[in-house]
Amino acid sequence: MGLRKFCEEILPVFCCFVPEVDASSEHQRGVVAMIDPVAFKARLILWVVIGVFVIVGVIGLIFANAWPWSWTQRLTEALSTALLIAAFLALSVDRFLKIELVRDAFSAAYQYALPVELKAEIPKLMKFEFVAEKHNWTVEIEKCDEDVVRVITSIERRLKNVTSGKRPLRLLYQTFDFEFKQGKSEIVEFRAITEDGRTIDAEKAEQGTPHSIERKIKEDIMVPAGKQVTLHGKAVQYRRCIDLMFETFLYPAVNPEINVIIPNDFDFDVDFGTEGQGKEKDQYMNRYRLAGVYIPSQFMFVRWWPKSPSN
């Protein structure tokens, strides 16, 4: 089986059986089950059986001593306890075993189908605990003189915990300083906002590696499964009139956007570091959108240069 055929036929099958764990996904699965009579009937039968196990188990434990014979009392207690344990396993452990089974089957399938050079990359993708459902990076360029421009970058990301449990989110914002005489680079602001409205500001800027400045949020933000954290950051740098600004991010981003604000006498280019399913541009603004997923370690960048006099 070729790689293309594997991706088109096998992967979607596994994806259909991977259980979702957040509240919204539970709701969506419930709606799908209601629409699909077969799925609804299977789920209904499962819940009826579990309910019967619980009811019979509880009644058996309560009235076990009503039997006149000691051996029937012990047998009733043992059977009732077994029914309650079976119901508990059906509601909890069985669910997680199914998840592990799907993961193991998926792992075996891609190791069989993919080239050796790509096998090591799939586990890296499976380890991501957060995904940016919203990603907006804005690059604003202001001309200082004939050689230097002031570049203001701002980022807004909404990160969602895509795992089944609470996970720590560690946040860091880094920018570079190239010692232009027009000014020093600075991180103007960096903060996180949780779903319950709590705002967490980053600490004061400090020296990172040589020629870099960092601001980080000191505490790990514990994010429950399915919940989101929104990040806001803004920085200022100085660059040359023919130059580029690049960023790389720690978590995948779905359909990310790049906005460019630039003087009319400059031309520019935008790249997401990956082709995805194409790049779209707004009709009246320099806003670009990637149809696809950005993967960490790829560089998003905006490159600019003065227009030639003929333009």
Q: Are residues 68 and 164 in the same domain?
A: no
Does 275 lie in the same domain as 250? yes
What's the domain range around 19? 3-126
* Final residue before a domain boundary, out of 83, 107, 126: 126
Q: What is the CATH number of the domain that holds 174?
A: 2.60.40
Go through 120-144 and write b for each residue having 16 or more CB atoms within 10 A of its CB, e for each that does not: eeeeeeeeebbbbebbbbbbebeee
Q: Is residue 171 classed as helix, strand or coil in its secondary structure?
A: coil
Say whether both 113 and 21 belong to one domain.
yes
Q: Do 106 and 140 belong together in one domain?
A: no
Residue finishing a domain among 126, 149, 183: 126
Sign of CA dihedral 300, 304, 310, 311: positive
Question: Do both 50 and 144 map to the same domain?
Answer: no
Task: Tell which of 126, 141, 164 closes a domain.
Answer: 126
68 and 112, same domain (yes or no)? yes
Residues 15 and 59 in one domain: yes
Residue from 282, 3, 306 nearest 136 by CA: 282
311 domain residue, yes or no: no
**32 and 177 share a domain?**
no
CB-based burial label for 168 (10 Å; 0-12, 13-18, 19+): exposed
pLDDT for the residue numbered 35: 43
- Asked if residue 244 and residue 232 are part of one domain, the reply reads yes
pLDDT along the chain (311 residues), means of 10: 44 40 40 50 77 88 84 86 84 63 68 72 81 96 95 96 90 91 93 93 80 88 94 96 93 95 95 89 93 90 90 60
pLDDT for the residue numbered 195: 92
> Are residue 94 and residue 184 in the same domain, yes or no?
no
> Do 72 and 148 fall into the same domain?
no
Both tokens of 10, joined, read 């096998």
- pLDDT at residue 2, as a whole number: 47
Query: pLDDT at position 255, please?
Result: 95
> 29 with 88, same domain?
yes
* Residue 282, in any domain of the structure: yes
How many domains does the structure of the chain reveal? 2
- 13 assigned to some structural domain: yes
What is the amino acid identity at position 216?
K
Confidence at residue 25, expressed as pLDDT on a 0 to 100 scale: 42
pLDDT of residue 209: 72
